[in-house]
Chain A
Amino acid sequence: MMNTFSGMKEQDEDWTLIIKPHSNLFDLQLKEVWRYQDLLFLFVKRDFVAQYKQTILGPLWHFIQPLFTTIMFLVVFNKIANIPTDGIKPILFYMSGIAIWNYFSSCLTATSNTFSANAGIFGKVYFPRLVLPLSIVVSNVVKFGIQFLLLLSLMIYFAFNGEQIHFGLSWLYIPVLIIMMAFMGLGLGIIISSLTTKYRDFTVLLGFAVQLLMYATPIIYPLSFLIGNKYGWLISWNPLTPIVEAFRFALFEQGTFSPVSLMYSAVFIIVVFFFGLVMFNRVERSFMDTV
């Protein structure tokens, strides 16, 4: 044994792949993920094509779900509960909130069962596992885009009917905010998916936590509504709050926008995402044994 080993010393660097029990904690192999970009887009395509095969309305379903939710929110929270909407037209207020919230929650819930839902493929073939959650985030961008189109057409409709609608350069911030949301959902999602491989408890937890979290985020009420409220601080410490508020501010130029709190969100996201990556990378090597 010793003999072969010393004899091979000099060609040791030639190996293209060395599999060891423990890798460096920060060896994230992002380069490899990049090499598999074709796969990423094929997964996105698969999600889309497969979801609407044999449905009559197809992608129209992306319009229907937010539309009905908006109408429900409008009736319950605006007309019945009388919650103000920061001077934004209520239907647009709710629809914008729902669009960005849906994006976050679908990124989070879909990425959080990466390992358990794909154990079949993962157990049979190796590819960088991160490709799958990334593909989920990308395919949800498309879904968000469709909802955003709906919002946009409503705004155009109102503008033609003589209402004051804001269209401006602030719209350029929207992609940045979406990327922040994406990484937030992805970061939390991969942390949860890493935990669920061994302990399924987290799937149960996530099911209702996402629902509760929506009420702790200014989706059905504006942040300004909480000024002077005893529990207002709770909502403003939610790292999602600044993003949602900034999104509405960029769209309508109304609401609460503070660069400082947005920075807070950004730092939070970077920490969560990096922590998630390290954890995911650690788990992906051997999750097949515990899933």
Chain B
Amino acid sequence: MSEIVISVESLSKQYRLGTVGTGTLSHDLNRFWHKIRGKDDPYIEVGQENDRTSKGTSDYVWALRDINFEVRQGEVLGIIGRNGAGKSTLLKLLSRTTSPTIGTIKMKGRIASLLEVGTGFHPELSGKENIYLNGAILGMTRQEINSKFNEIVEFAGVERYVNTPVKRYSSGMYVRLAFAVAAYLEPDILIVDEVLAVGDAEFQQRAIGKLKDVSAGQGRTVLFVSHNMGSIAQLCTKGLLLHNGKVASNKNIDIVIEDYLEKNLSITSTYKSLEDNAKNVQVLWAEIVDEDEKPSDNFSNQEDIYIRFEIKNFSNERGMVCSIGLQDQLDRKIFTDQISIEANSGYTTFKVKLHKSIFRPNRFKVSIALHIPNIRLVEVIENALAFELVDSGSEFSLYGKTDNGFMIPPVVWEIEKNNLII
């Protein structure tokens, strides 16, 4: 077993909600008064779990509460969780841009964090000047940058532009240059936040390749935060799932992704929106029902699935289209279908039938959108509904979790020839 390079013990971070104003001063004074009498911070006990959706009674929330984990050398830890689960806060603490309220973090070796590419890039400076400046901000010395300068320029593919101010760069060049500086940093521990969300597909592949190199080839430790389960699954060996500021799961990456999807995909067979008079086009409600019109989120592949929803349309625009789309749990699109709507059609209820046994067992998410093709997206309800198709004994159920695609289309097999002896 390799050595432990990061050890996090009962790490917690408290934030105060609301604005900084006169009220803050009184809390500060009260805190100071407790401190000089040698008492504990009076506000440390009042923090609440960080659940954004429910209104709390306290102004203090725990963005992170009692986090414990260890990372070994060479591991690539994927940190996942919903928005607001505490991922960014954890990264901020690890990269020392803010300090914890309680708990400790211990680390071994040089740490570099890449929370955003191009931190400290100055638009007026040339590419070359920015490489040096950005490198130094990230902790490199002048000699280190000198020795890697050519590789950085080559990786970014900006040779012709090194002496031009970066404000004249295309946004792609800018990002490539910024990532290149960070990629050649060679720290022992690299902390990366969704920087891969930028750049074209080719560059993203290169960036992932580079990160893989860094971890597998050079034995460095990488902490990686992303919402993209695809790149997480490609890159990481271990996973850390955060939920409302607590560790929900910390195991091998495939298990953690599974846990995340289970938590994240709250299966809802109904969607309801308040009627908004300011909007003249709106999806009012949607539900998934079975043959008997009973709401359901669980189907076997011998059942038909119905999606019912009502829309309101008081728009004069012509050519409006209502579409529904199905996605799997990794957000891969499975199909989209649509129907056109007349201008000013008023209230309409649709019932869409999905035939039985055309999908493989999986969890599905349904999105509903109203748009004018190629012109304007009027309203879109991403993942309005979700349902699960349970494997009720298809021939593939034997293979467990292997990916066998989405569909069971009518495929016809024929044996044309079969000889025992040629």
Q: Which residues of A contact B (CB under 8 A)?
A: 1, 4-5, 8, 14-21, 36, 38-39, 42-43, 45-46, 49-50, 53-54, 120-127, 198-199, 285-286, 288-290
Contacts and interface: CB of A to CB of B under 8 A. Distances in A.
A50 B107 contact: no
A127 B98 contact: no
Contact of B119 (A15, A39, A42, A121): A121
Contact of A127 (B103, B110, B139, B165): B139
A21 B102 contact: yes
B113 A126 contact: yes
Interface in B83-122: 92-93, 95-111, 113, 115-116, 119-120, 122
B307 interface: no
A20 B104 contact: yes
Given A39-B137, A123-B92, A124-B113, 12 more contacts: A8-B4, A19-B96, A20-B99, A21-B102, A21-B103, A39-B136, A43-B133, A50-B124, A127-B139, A288-B92, A288-B98, A290-B20
A116 B122 CA distance: 17
Contacts of A36: 136, 139
Majority secondary structure, B binding face: mixed
Contacts of A122: 97
A49 B133 CA distance: 12
B336 interface: no
B138 A125 contact: yes
B122 A50 contact: yes
Contacts of A1: 9, 68
17 contacts: A5-B9, A8-B7, A17-B105, A18-B105, A18-B107, A19-B93, A19-B105, A19-B107, A20-B100, A21-B100, A36-B139, A38-B141, A50-B125, A53-B165, A124-B116, A125-B137, A126-B97
Contacts of B110: 16
Given A1-B68, A49-B129, A50-B122, A15 B100 contact: no
B338 interface: no
Contacts of A46: 122, 125, 129, 133
B142 interface: yes
Contacts of B109: 16
B150 interface: no
B99 A19 contact: yes
A16 B188 CA distance: 11
Contacts of A124: 97, 113, 115-116, 119
Contact of A126 (B7, B20, B96, B108): B96
A19 to B, nearest CB: 4
Contacts of A45: 129
Contacts of B28: 198
A21 B95 CA distance: 14
B33 interface: no
Contacts of B122: 46, 50
A127 B129 CA distance: 19
A124 B178 CA distance: 14
B119 A125 contact: yes
A18 B119 contact: no
Contacts of A127: 137, 139
Contacts of B93: 19
A5 B124 CA distance: 50
Nearest to B92: A288
Contacts of A15: 106-108
A14 B108 CA distance: 7
Nearest to B15: A289
Contacts of B115: 123-125
A260 to B, nearest CB: 37
B220 to A, nearest CB: 15
A286 B101 CA distance: 10
A265 B139 CA distance: 37
Nearest to A123: B97
- For B24, B95, B113, B120, the residue with the greatest tally of chain A CB atoms inside 10 Å of its CB is B120
